[in-house]
Structure 1
């Protein structure tokens, strides 16, 4: 269980991030109001804010400020939310529940959900463009980092591989599964961390270490996500439990088994923690987040 101090830390960061998102996204009264209502419906549906918190913690580990990292931190949450809105569509995963609420297309219709996702992705780039330049990194550097993550080599490419792996008679191999999730879950977590570090003028060595941390943490996060789909219930998860198995989707438990999957998550988490050693106590919050994600129940 996370300590009370760490729970307080997470709560403070969620409040900070939510306040920044609320202040800089168009209000639901701004015309055309329906699209802004749909955007805000998904953004403020109660997510963990993991990716922006990681960005802030990475800036801290490199001696930077929260203020400088807030825009890119929130941009990663907008990009993540857009990807969830589109992943939930009938043409993709066809999910009716997300974060304990009906998904965007259930509430607003499929057409508006597509447009809301599109608008959130555009808004994410708007946030990145407002990031203050650092001494070693320009706004163009932030935009390039973010665009590569959002495009066909990472996030979109991972979703394509995910779709291509559905409906197969046999499960994907472990390497094929990794190829999907290193482009999806791991890529966005790593980019969140790297952007936060870049606002703090991270050195090349620091970025390399944090990239290793983010990659392994992202894969560990996905392993636990797959385990929870099997072991937790819908009310706890806030999304439909057991759906992966019902549609014969290739997951870590399906390929490795439950206990082996838990061991794999622990191995990956240990690798992520080892990458933080050069930062010492400055990476205390990153380390706490890694432990928290390994032990989470939703």
Structure 2
């Protein structure tokens, strides 16, 4: 019998954070660089991407430990992107998860280098993974897919499109491109990595990616809603930044009521995709609820 989702999520975070700290402390680098990397890695957060990876493994009745290296690498990539997003040349944010942003503590130059360090170390962690149930072919596939998801064909492309969109009225397809790349691609990798490590079939993987695409879009729609309705103290960063930066969002292209309806429909599509596989999917379905109803 499976443990509750709350216990699964708590244990997953503890396992991940312990492993990431171990990885970071093993890096042979100047102490200040390690401190800057650890500062953001240990800042907490939902850990939704690693949780998705672990939940996908669980759906195939595989142990979380198989995905620890991939989950750590994924969270390193996500953390680097947050460090760089917060810089004065990007979003110029002073708070992240309720704490001063990396550049406010370590300075802009060290924040850039901490992000660079996490980005490149993530691929080292993946390539050096020697778990007995993870083959070299799996490692190579994960390195390739993470590079595509995080790089100029994925997250970086979304960030560029997001910057260029400031002050412009976007179409829905343009907005979806930003969301699918800037946020969605790493969420999709979370599920894909779980599928690869679990030995999923091509048909199963395709259905899981349909689930992941809809979940990624739901995540960003909820983000747009929280930027208007969210509690700054609970979110851990300023609200209203999208309005201040003149960004098109689901709440500017649609009414708040319409945005919430689209969120509901998108979440249901994600649930239906994963249900069709008839796997041990309770944690994946719970993550859908978590994403749709999150308050931070």
Q: TM-score, normalised by structure 2?
A: 0.94
Once the two structures are TM-superposed, the CA of residue 232 in structure 1 deviates from its matched residue by: 1.3
266-275 vs 60-69, which moves further: 60-69
1:89 aligned partner: 87
- SS of 1:273's equivalent? helix
Partner of 1:110: 108
- Per-residue CA deviations over 1:51-84 (Å, capped at 9, x if unaligned) read 0010011112123221111110111111100011
Give the structure 2 partner of residue 78 of structure 1: 76
Residues 212-259 of structure 1: CA distance to partner in whole angstroms, max 9, x if unpaired? 111100000000011011001210100111111122211110111211
| In 2: Cα distance, 1:286 partner to 1:55 partner | 10
Please give the alpha-carbon distance, in whole angstroms, between the structure 2 residues aligned to 1:176 and 1:221. 17
8 A Cα contact 2:60 2:279, kept in partner: no
The alignment status of 1:8 with 2:7, answered yes or no, reads yes
C-alpha distance in 1 between matches for 2:238 and 2:95: 6
Q: Is the 8 A contact 1:252 1:261 kept in 2?
A: yes
Mapped pair 1:38 → 2:36 = yes
CA distance in 2, matches of 1:136, 1:36: 28
Task: Report the Cα offset of residue 91 of structure 1.
Answer: 0.9
Backbone CA RMSD of aligned residues:
1.7
Q: SS at 1:282's partner residue?
A: coil
Partner of 1:165: 165
Counterpart selection for 2:215 from 217, 222, 228:
217
2:246 and 2:182 map into 1 onto residues whose CA distance is 20
Change (3 A) 1:31 1:276: closer
Which segments of 5 or more consecutive residues in structure 1 lack a partner in the other structure? none
Counterpart Cα distance in 2 of 1:201 and 1:233: 41
Number of the residue aligned with 2:278: 280
2:151 is the counterpart of 1:151: yes
Please give the residue correspondences for 1:103-252 in structure 2 after superposition, counting only pairs within 5 Å.
103-131=101-129, 132=131, 134=134, 137-168=137-168, 171-252=169-250
**Do structure 1's residue 50 and structure 2's residue 32 form an aligned pair?**
no
Q: Distance in 2 between matches of 1:267 and 1:144?
A: 32
Find the counterpart in structure 1 of residue 258 from structure 2: 260
**1:154-198: per-residue Cα shift (whole Å, max 9, x none)?**
011111101110133xx2111110011111211110001101121
Equivalent residue for 2:25?
A: 26
Task: Tell me the alpha carbon deviations over residues 120-148 of structure 1, each in whole angstroms, 9 at most, x when there is no partner.
Answer: 00111112113446469432111111111
How many residue pairs get aligned? The number is: 292
Alignment TM-score, normalising by the size of structure 1:
0.93
1: CA distance between counterparts of 2:85 and 2:12?
26
CA positional deviation for 1:27: 6.0
Larger mean CA deviation between 74-83 and 274-283 belongs to 274-283
Contact 1:65 1:200 in 2 (8 A): no
Distance in 1 between residues matched to 2:135 and 2:34, nearest whole Å: 35
Aligned to 2:294: 296
Q: Per-residue deviation at 1:105? A: 0.9
